[in-house]
Chains A and B, each alone.
Chain A
Amino acid sequence: MKKIFFFPVLMMFIMLLSACTNKEEGSIFSAVFFQMDSEIRINYMANNQDQANEIKAHIGEVYAMYHSLSDNYAPLEEDSPYLENIYTLNSKINQDVEIDYELYMMLDESSRIKELTDGYFDISIGKIVKAWKDVILDPESRDDGYVIPQSVFEDLQDEIGLIEVQENPFTLSESSEKYYVRINHIDVQLDLGAIAKGYATEIVKDYLIENDVIYFAINAGSSTIAVGKNSNPERKNQQWNVELIDPLFDNEYFGLIELRDQAIATSGNNVQYATYNGLRYHHIVSPLTKYSMHYYHSLTMIGNDAGLLDALSTAFFSMSPETITSWLAIHQEELGIEVILYNYDGTITTHLLDTIFVGY
């Protein structure tokens, strides 16, 4: 009689336990870093605590390095192992300055993307971006409803009118395994803010993949995300569900996408902006016009390379819908790039390949 009861009890315990155990080997670890003015959060699967610690330490070093190299607010620490960063470079005009290989490669990638986007991505317009930010982020006018006074706007127009966007802002060179950059004009101020975080995230992603980490997600300040597969058994396609924030309405979302082994980058005019003549002016400035453009409220880019996506999300913000369409006609298939545009009139345009997008 007892044995008859023993069986269901055993079954129930097995069911209970199986609900708790993960079907994959290893467990999920998480790490948080504060770099590049962002909170960077990473979840990843590792076999044990030692491996998890090793991965965490390495990722921390990668972000810390790219943070130091791309910093345009402060010079390197005195005991820094690096030669120069963007802050110190910006004060050395018309001279060949030796830089670290990693910075050289990031500048080289920026030049490549500038060419790829016909000049819509340009890291050399730091002076113009700073002039805009000084007005938009004026501590006296922090309310989102801030309207730029006419006199301030006109002064700003005068200021940026005097700054010339350079066709050849800097020159990279290499000789006997040393790397150099030369800034070619006084109006050039380098700003890697639109690429550094994505670029570092791509390097971290590659490191995880090289180390056979299949299940991971890197959330670099919510504007750049790179993911592997999701170990959560609730996700039937091993995907990560990403909800897209509505830039016009607080606490509203306009859609959901499923991501797996991909990256995503967003740009929006809803975080830092001020209004003039009824239009939102924000920190994304077109290198072609020196003004922020008003085609979109936000755009979301999906693809493989987080660094490229980060840069493209800035470049596309200044492109008209027609320019984007013709750009994609040439590059979409080859680069595997997908785009969701939240247009200025509130409508949504998608240029998707395989990604599942559910609009609300």
Chain B
Amino acid sequence: METKRFKNKRDFILITILVILVGAIYISFKLFMFTEDAAQAQVYYGTSTEPIVTIDFVNYRVIKNYIQNVPDGYDQNYPIIDEEAQTITLLGDYELNGIRQIVVIKYEFGTANSKPSVEIIQEQSPNNICSREGVSTGKPLICLPNRIRVEFDSSEVDFTV
């Protein structure tokens, strides 16, 4: 009788934990799906469909998903994440005098008065189209021929044209 009650108690704890867990997942899912501002922005390089860097606007952090594969002769490891200056630096594909040039992305976490945003603040390319785009709060920024893009995750919109 004593053991049985003990087991029931353990079951009860287990179920409580599960209920809380499911509830927490459900609430965070809802929050993520229906937040008005973008919850994340993803930085992609080359033809990879895996983001190299994830900017998490909800939890105020920047996650390096993998190291950029660069040829010999480039000493630095990319991406470089500077949390103080709020920049992400990658090595683009565009070459000047045979040297590949960096692309610097500036990110801002949103505040009560401003939306989360990203901006390409430095890049080399024939027409500088992606740095001329300025600050974006939703539109993808595509840097060619550097082959770097920054894209917002939005639950309501699949494309912008």
Q: Cα distance A271–B15 when bound, in Å?
A: 57
Residues of B close to A210: CB separation below 8 A? none
Is B160 touching A242 in the complex (CB atoms < 8 A)?
yes
Q: Does A245 contact B (CB under 8 A)?
A: yes
* Contact code string A210-233 (vs B, CB < 8 Å = 1, else 0): 000000010101110100001000
Known contacts A16-B22, A142-B132, A34 near B147 by CB under 8 Å: yes
Known contacts A34-B47, A39-B142, A142-B128, A253 near B160 by CB under 8 Å: yes
Residue among B15, B44, B47, B48 with most chain A CB within 10 A: B47
Known contacts A1-B4, A142-B127, A250-B135, A30 near B49 by CB under 8 Å: yes
Known contacts A30-B49, A39-B149, A144-B132, A217 near B138 by CB under 8 Å: no
Is A234 touching B155 in the complex (CB atoms < 8 A)?
yes
Q: How far is the CB of A225 from chain B (nearest CB, A)?
A: 6
Is B160 touching A222 in the complex (CB atoms < 8 A)?
yes
Count of A residues near B, CB < 8 Å?
Answer: 43
Residue among B48, B127, B135 with most chain A CB within 10 A: B127
Q: How far is the CB of B27 from chain A (nearest CB, A)?
A: 14
Known contacts A5-B11, A38-B144, A242 near B47 by CB under 8 Å: no
Residues of A close to B135: CB separation below 8 A? 250-251
Known contacts A34-B147, A251-B136, A271-B129, A243 near B157 by CB under 8 Å: yes
* Contact code string A141-153 (vs B, CB < 8 Å = 1, else 0): 0101000000000
Known contacts A2-B7, A31-B49, A39-B149, A242 near B159 by CB under 8 Å: yes
Across the interface, name the chain A residue whose C-beta is closest to B44: A32
Is B161 touching A225 in the complex (CB atoms < 8 A)?
yes
Stretch at the interface among A7-15, A82-90, A156-164, A347-355: A7-15
Q: How far is the CB of B119 from chain A (nearest CB, A)?
A: 11
Is A1 touching B132 in the complex (CB atoms < 8 A)?
no
Known contacts A30-B49, A39-B142, A142-B132, A244 near B157 by CB under 8 Å: no
* Contact code string A265-282 (vs B, CB < 8 Å = 1, else 0): 010000110000000000
Task: Identify which of residues 4-40 in chain B touch chain A, using a CB-to-CB cut-off of 8 Å.
Answer: 4, 7-8, 11-12, 14-15, 18-19, 22, 25, 33
Is A250 touching B134 in the complex (CB atoms < 8 A)?
yes
Is A9 touching B15 in the complex (CB atoms < 8 A)?
yes
Residues of B close to A12: CB separation below 8 A? 18-19, 22
Q: Does B140 contact A (CB under 8 A)?
A: yes
Q: How far is the CB of A20 from chain B (nearest CB, A)?
A: 11
Task: Identify which of residues 116-153 in chain B touch chain A, using a CB-to-CB cut-off of 8 Å.
Answer: 117, 126-129, 132, 134-140, 142, 144-145, 147, 149
Q: Cα distance A33–B161 when bound, in Å?
A: 18
Is A245 touching B139 in the complex (CB atoms < 8 A)?
yes
Q: Cα distance A33–B126 when bound, in Å?
A: 20
Q: How far is the CB of B152 from chain A (nearest CB, A)?
A: 11
Q: Cα distance A221–B159 when bound, in Å?
A: 11
Across the interface, name the chain B residue whose C-beta is closest to A266: B161
Q: Does B72 contact A (CB under 8 A)?
A: no
Q: Cα distance A117–B156 when bound, in Å?
A: 36
Across the interface, name the chain A residue whose C-beta is closest to B138: A251
Residues of A close to B19: CB separation below 8 A? 12
Q: Which of B47, B49, B159 contacts A222 (CB 8 A)?
A: B159
Task: Identify which of residues 240-266 in chain A touch chain B, using a CB-to-CB cut-off of 8 Å.
Answer: 240-245, 250-251, 253, 256, 264, 266
Q: A32-B49, A219-B159, A256-B157 are in contact. List 15 more A-B contacts (CB 8 A).
A: A8-B15, A16-B25, A31-B49, A34-B144, A142-B127, A217-B158, A222-B160, A241-B156, A241-B159, A242-B161, A243-B159, A251-B137, A251-B138, A251-B139, A253-B138
Q: Which residues of A contact B (CB under 8 A)?
A: 1-2, 5, 8-9, 12, 15-16, 30-34, 37-39, 137, 139, 142, 144, 217, 219, 221-223, 225, 230, 234, 240-245, 250-251, 253, 256, 264, 266, 271-272, 300
Subset of 25 A-B contacts with CB under 8 Å: A5-B12, A5-B15, A9-B15, A12-B18, A16-B25, A31-B49, A32-B44, A39-B147, A144-B132, A217-B159, A219-B159, A222-B142, A234-B33, A241-B157, A241-B158, A242-B159, A243-B159, A244-B160, A244-B161, A245-B161, A250-B135, A251-B135, A253-B138, A256-B157, A300-B161
